[in-house]
Chain A
Amino acid sequence: MIRGIYVAGSGMMTEATRTDVIANNLANASTAGYRKDVAIGKDFRSMLIRRINDGPNSPLIGSMGVGSVIDEVATIHEQGGIRPTGNKFDLAIEGRGFFAVETPAGVRYTRNGGFTRSAQGELVTVDGYRVLGQGGAIQLGDPESQVYIADDGRVMVDDAEADTLRIADFADVKRLVKEGANLFAAAPGQQEEPVAGITVRAGYLEHSNVNVVAEMVNLIAGYRAYEINGKAVQAHDSLLDKAVNDVGRV
């Protein structure tokens, strides 16, 4: 059939996926510590067109694109805004790094520092997963103990240093895999690295880094690209209509 109909169709599918990614960013505009995704498209390798029926040496007459596809959904690890919450166990990281959290599936990483003190006296996430310090789970003591978390990540319980938050960084944060529930998993073979000079703010939470204006603009651009590709499909359809029904009519 006419190649262009598939090319335009692949363009529509690319834009549909892009819209899925934008919708997820918008849905998570209020999720603390959420990191936005960007869908990056690419063209398929163009193919070379040869003239045929020209004898043994069919000459090249140029190249033709065969459509687009989503190449990558990249997570943008840009700092989100920080807002005060009034809860002393809410933590926000300024700059690089992730809180290390112990989940049933292993150690996971998060930028959402909306933590609480559990009934067992440990610092936990909203899902009840333990937040890790250098020596494992962080013990905050009994209800009487006064807890203070310093800017450099030291956890002070009753004026004694109990532990230091395990803030992990990665050489290539883009390789981290999103798992949902605000958690990132390290890719196979990816090693955790310590962060130099961390700044933790107790009593603050980091917003998502979704820029809603940019997302709305991308939404519109994506929609129009989709519409235009739709028009190209229709134009091809009209051509086929002519070819099938009109050509050869006497």
Chain B
Amino acid sequence: MMRALWTAGTGMVAQQANIDVISNNLANVNTTGFKKSRTDFQDLMYQTIRQAGAATGPDTQLPTGIQVGSGVRQVATQKIYTMGNFQNTGNQLDVAIEGDGFFRITMPDGTINYTRDGAFKMDSAGRVVTSEGYPLEPLITIPEGTTEITISSDGRVSAKIPNQTNAQDLGQIQLSRFINPAGLESVGRNLLKETAASGAPVDNIPGAEGAGTLVQKYLEMSNVQVVEEMVNMIVAERAYQMNSKAITTCDSMLEVAAGLKR
């Protein structure tokens, strides 16, 4: 059958995957700390029908050959780590990272996951936890009766307790950085996991060695730009349509071929 039929088919599949990624970006437009993804494509194999450089005479050769490509494939979805907008929430356990780095979260199985979502809460034991109840690492426990919590830009957490003159130091939030944050694995719930591609985490206190600083009472919004995603969606839809046109054209050609024999 015609090569073009399968080639255009790969184009449709690739654009569908593109739409999947764009939809997920749009679905998470209001997700705290969400980082948008982008689909990367590659052209597939080429079939060489005539080799360029083949000899055509004693001292002459073909300057160009005939190579017909066989379509496209989705090769990666890359996370884009640009900053999201900051939103003032007034909540004293909301923390945004200004700059690079991730909060460290202890999972129920004891492993560490990473997040940019700084919408922390306090559980019944006074521990600072994520919305899912997973504690921050290193653990910070807020004593009973605390009236005000202060988180400094370098991550120092202190609590003001009635009848005490000095604020009580509760510890320091740490940030992890990765050599290749694009290689982190998204596991949902705003959490990311370390992989061989991301490299090992480098832990620092906020503000040190290029790590970002913390901003209390603010949340980092997603970095999804709605206009950009809508434009990408239009482009993807039209690309999908064009590939389907190539398929219908191919189909019509096959119909002509089939109609030759009467």
Contacts and interface: CB of A to CB of B under 8 A. Distances in A.
B18 A30 contact: yes
Interface stretch (B40-48, B103-111, B137-145): B40-48
A223 B199 CA distance: 52
A87 B80 contact: yes
B33 interface: no
A26 B242 contact: yes
Contacts of A187: 52-53
Contacts of A144: 177, 202, 209-210
Given A116-B183, A142-B179, A216-B242, A31 B41 contact: yes
A191 interface: no
Interface string A90-122: 000000000000000000000010101111110
Contacts of B187: none
A52 B11 CA distance: 55
Interface in B1-60: 2-5, 7-8, 10-11, 14-15, 18, 38-46, 48-49, 52-53
B230 interface: no
Number of chain A interface residues as a range:
35 or more
Given A119-B196, A178-B46, A212-B238, A30 B64 contact: no
Interface in A1-41: 12, 15-17, 19-24, 26-32, 34, 37
Contacts of A34: 41, 43
Contacts of B44: 180
A64 interface: no
B63 interface: yes
Interface of A: 12, 15-17, 19-24, 26-32, 34, 37, 70-74, 85-87, 112, 114, 116-121, 126-127, 142-146, 172, 174-175, 177-182, 187-189, 212, 215-216, 219-220, 222-223, 226-227, 230, 233-234, 237
Interface of B: 2-5, 7-8, 10-11, 14-15, 18, 38-46, 48-49, 52-53, 63-72, 75-76, 78, 80-82, 100, 177-180, 182-183, 196-200, 202, 209-210, 223, 235-236, 238-239, 242-243, 245-246, 249-250, 252-253, 256-257, 259-260, 262
